[in-house]
Amino acid sequence: MNPTTMIEHILDFNKKAFDYGFNALITVQERTEKIIIDFWGNSEYFPEEGKKIFGDWFQSYKKGLDEVKTSVDCRLKFVEEYLQNAAIRWNRRSILWSSKHRQLALQLIGQRKSLPWMERR
């Protein structure tokens, strides 16, 4: 398998795994928020200050989740670019080896025919 293709598959898997996990986390947060609002919001014994605190807490939690999502997406993009550039460099090296170095190796050995291990490529 081509290293570039393999890297793309690995990155796609990691992106999807993070997205599915993150979406599950958001779903749990939204359901928890709904339950708390239904339970405590309709209670006569829960003060308005407490309801405001829960509202602020939910807003800060959502803001934190958005920051985490943005940060992870940026890091995944950075890793994707880095690994793709590394794969391109690796492919160039292997192409150079297979063309230039094969001839150089044959010249250094003094043979004009190819070696058996070089034929496998």
Non-local CB neighbours of 25 within 8 Å, separated by 6+ positions: 65
**Tens-of-pLDDT digits for all 121 residues of the chain?**
676 677 788 888 989 999 999 999 999 999 988 988 888 777 778 788 888 888 898 899 999 999 999 999 999 888 888 877 777 776 666 655 555 556 665 566 655 455 555 555 5
pLDDT at 55: 85
pLDDT at 38: 85
Contact by Cβ (8 Å): 26, 61 = no
Name the residue ranges covered by the structural domains of the chain. 3-119
Rounded alpha-carbon distances, angstroms, from residue 98 to 49, 85, 109:
73, 20, 16
pLDDT at 70: 94
Which is nearest to 75 in space by CA: 1, 14, 26? 14
| 3-state DSSP assignment of residue 43 | coil
Which is nearest to 29 in space by CA: 63, 3, 74, 80? 63
